[in-house]
Amino acid sequence: MGTEMTGASSLVKSLEAAGVDVMFGIPGGAVLPVYDPLYDSKIRHILVRHEQGAGHAATGYAQVTGRVGVCMATSGPGATNLVTPLADAQMDSVPLVAITGQVPSAAIGTDAFQEADIRGITMPITKHNYLVTNPDDIPRAIAEAFHIASTGRPGPVLVDIAKDALQKMTNFSYPTSIQFAGYKPQVEPDAQAIRDAVALIAQAKKPVFYVGGGIIKANASKQLMQIAELLGAPVVTTLMARGAFPDSHNLHLGMPGMHGTVAAVTALQKSDLLITLGARFDDRVTGKLSSFAVHAKVIHADIDPAEIGKNRFADVPIIGDLAHTLNALILALQEEFKKNKPDLTVWWRQMSSLRAAYPLGYDKPVDGSTSPQYVIERIGAISGPDSIYVAGVGQHQMWASQFVKYEKPRTWLNSGGLGTMGYAVPAAMGAKVGMPDTTVWAIDGDGCFQMTNQELVTCSLNNIPIKVAIINNESLGMVRQWQTMFYEGRYSNTSLHSKRIPDFVKLADAMGCAGLRCERPEDVDAVIKEAMSINDQPVVVDFRVFRDAMVWPMVAAGTSNDEIMIARGIAPDWDSQEL
Amino acid sequence: MSTHTLAVLVENSPGVLARVASLFSRRAYNIDSLAVGPTENPDISRMTIVLNLDGHVLDQVMAQLYKLVNVIAISEMTDETTVKRELLLVKVNAGSKKSEISSLVEKFSATIVNEDGGFLTVQAIGEPAHIEALLAGLTPYGIKELVQSGLVALEKGSAALSDRTLSAQGISTLHEIGTQADYQN
Ligand SMILES: Cc1ncc(C[n+]2csc(CCOP(=O)(O)OP(=O)(O)O)c2C)c(N)n1
Ligand SMILES: [Mg+2]
């Protein structure tokens, strides 16, 4: 028998029991009962300016800390504003718990004021969700939500609670254990699968570690380093895995995929064994699936059995937590290599030659304006690998994945799966809340920034001094790039005129931030250093950059990775490569 | 493409049918029929789902179903190892052909369950092929309306889907509750 209190108090006590230290949200009628006990709670609630900001902030917090991010909204429009961040978290496997108020249970189904069936709406975009109408069910729902969000393949869980359940009296006691009839993620890998994997690795002549975001989720970067050095095979890190393996490491060929390096893309294409670790054969990585890595056998290690064979057949599937899987693989390989170790000299000769011939690069703009890649490269170099970098979606995102050098996991955040414009500012806010002593840069597009910049008000008022670099090319650059390439340069609706309106410096100032502007390449370093010196308020830098810069290399959507272009219409000189 | 029948045990919780339907719809799996009903355990419902898909997609469908937290056990119901039945109610305008229809109905071990104003309502239970054959026989007489249950299937002999749940296999379904800190390794 627990202590008697309202459902709302029971919710707050449950969140405290789950170890929540911070949450992001906005109150409203249906969720209002929660805000009263929250007033007295030790949980820090950060009042955002849009619920989408609350959701992405919770994601940013979760991605840098590895903890569950928490956001809260009222019924109806508050809840629907969470839809985008929930879909985003589902795609990128981010552990979130979203709490929403719902209209009183008697009014459910009557089209009541601010009623939306958020459980129904979010079914396809959450790992699981709940509608709670009995206050006695609140602690268990919260305990289950945190457990589901953070175990197995992480993901968002929504708990929708009817207002009357929040108002009624109940007895609070937080469960010490919970029971699921069917939910039981497999943590330990199957021993036979490990043996099968070792047998494939021992025979491979061209193995590649194809590393996805799962490595970061599993906190298995150390094991990745160990196994990579043990086998000595090339490593490629996907957009979600940047930072899982140091960019400075000699085994690293960079990022594969649509805007990956020639070496990373080609390593996968020519490989005879993909050692796939927490990656999901996304179309942005494989290009045209039927022509992807056609000679490769596949070892596919993942915590989620549904990823096995979804896009690509796996010769050896290994279900389990990647840290456990890699520990087991490392032990077994050490034994195997006493007898026999693959000789990768020829394979490395090919890969080293490609890496040397096709490094990432960019041209200086002919008109003397600032190159966006240069700005991003300098931010990375000056702020260094201990900082956290959060990107929006577009060209700037790809450049931030290419030209910032990542050395550590959880230092690169972006919206990989959903590609959510507007992610950067609120996610950076959440990241800074999670890691207050770390420098957090949002590298944002002028388009993306205009979707969610209001959270800078939240940052200013709550002492969350993030730094925002707006890569201002006065256009929806990535879309414009596609128009350049596939629509004969017919720039329909991609001009933002954002070197004229809005004035980002004034906008920053109006939101309580320091606003800086950089218009010439020779000023880039000085402006970055000035931004680095301001730590008592958020900083926004309007970097005015060359409009026509393009992201290279590129594999056009739907084409084969073999068709990679290093510049418009230009393929690598395959003839000069021994492949 | 071929037809596959899945039996799925699910927790008897609100919204579980919507979850399964939503999964099939968003992953573009085509359902031929779906039947849901209670089981010997009041906390558990059983769904029988008939799908038309390529064989290798079946594993994927089952894996995706298992991802639903409320799904407890899944098994493919093959023709060899299971008994499959469908229920048909069909209304025929008998006119002067009542005796012909009656003998057809008898041949298919079906029954006439209602007779009203010259219309016969025929009930038949059987495997899908059996039901189809009866319908083909009745069609010339003029079918006014028909309704079919989805297919249901049960394993022959002692085998039971309920033996494949975690708890039936002796696997603990209890999870210790940690706090935020415990979930970081
Ligand atoms: C919410 C949303 N709407 C539309 C898109 C399609 N889209 C992808 S990139 C892009 C342009 C982004 O422009 P900007 O933020 O200026 O970045 P840039 O590409 O110029 O660096 C658009 C419109 C999207 N990804 N997300
Ligand atoms: Mg832009």
The pLDDT tens digits for A57-92 are 999 999 999 999 999 999 999 999 999 999 999 999
pLDDT, position B173: 87
Query: What single-letter amino acid sits at A287?
Result: G
pLDDT of the residue at A515: 98
Q: What is the mean pLDDT of residues B141-151?
A: 96
Q: What is the pLDDT of residues B90-109, one digit of tens each?
A: 999 998 999 999 999 999 99
Residue B185 scores a pLDDT above 50: no
User: Residue A1: which pLDDT band, with cuts at 50, 70 and 90?
Assistant: low
pLDDT-derived band of residue B182, with 50, 70 and 90 as boundaries? low
Nearest alpha-carbon partner for A281 in A236, A258, A311, A259? A311
Cα A131 to ligand 2 centre (Å): 40
**Per residue in A104-139, pLDDT tens?**
999 999 999 999 999 999 999 999 999 999 999 999
Q: What is the per-residue pLDDT across B30-65, written as a single tens digit (0 to 9) for each?
A: 999 999 999 999 999 999 999 999 878 999 999 999
How far does the CA of residue A168 sit from the closest CA of chain B (Å)? 22
Structural domains for chain B: 2-81+157-179 (3.30.70.260), 82-148 (3.30.70.1150)
Residue A428 banded pLDDT, cuts 50, 70, 90: very high
Average pLDDT over residues A338-345: 96
pLDDT surpassing 60 at residue B170: yes
- Check pocket membership of A548 for ligand 1, CB cut-off 6 A: no
Contact A180/B14, CB-based, under 8 Å?
no
Q: What percent of chain A has pLDDT over 70?
A: 100
Contact A177 B175 (CB under 8 A): yes
pLDDT of residue B183: 55
The one-letter code for the residue type at A89 is A
- pLDDT tops 90 at residue B127: yes
Is pLDDT of B179 > 90? no
Listed in sequence order, the residues at least 6 apart from A199 whose beta carbon sits closer than 8 Å to its beta carbon are: none
Q: pLDDT tens, A353-364?
A: 999 999 999 999
Name the catalytic one among A13, A23, A24, A51: A51
Quote the pLDDT of residue B1: 86
* pLDDT for B54: 86
CA distance A440 to A360: 24
The alpha carbon of residue A478 and the mean position of all alpha carbons in its chain are separated, in whole angstroms, by 19
Task: Give the number of beta-carbon pairs within 8 Å between A and B.
Answer: 102
- CA dist A420 and A434 (Å) reads 21
Residues A467-484, mean pLDDT to the nearest whole number: 98
Residue B181, pLDDT score: 57
Residue A130 is predicted with a pLDDT of 98
Please, what is the average pLDDT of chain B? 93
Strand A96-102, strand A207-211: pairing: unpaired
- Choose which residue among A420, A478, A545 to substitute to test ligand 1 binding: the one with the highest number of ligand atoms within 8 A of its C-beta: A478
User: pLDDT of A254-279, one tens digit each?
Assistant: 999 999 999 999 999 999 999 999 99
Residue A266 is classified by DSSP as H
Q: Tell if the CB–CB gap between A182 and B11 is shorter than 8 Å.
A: yes
Secondary element (H or E) of residue A44? strand A44-47
Pairs from A572-577 (Cβ < 8 Å, separation ≥ 24): A572/A262, A572/A266, A572/A354, A572/A357, A572/A358, A573/A357, A576/A357, A577/A350, A577/A353, A577/A354, A577/A357
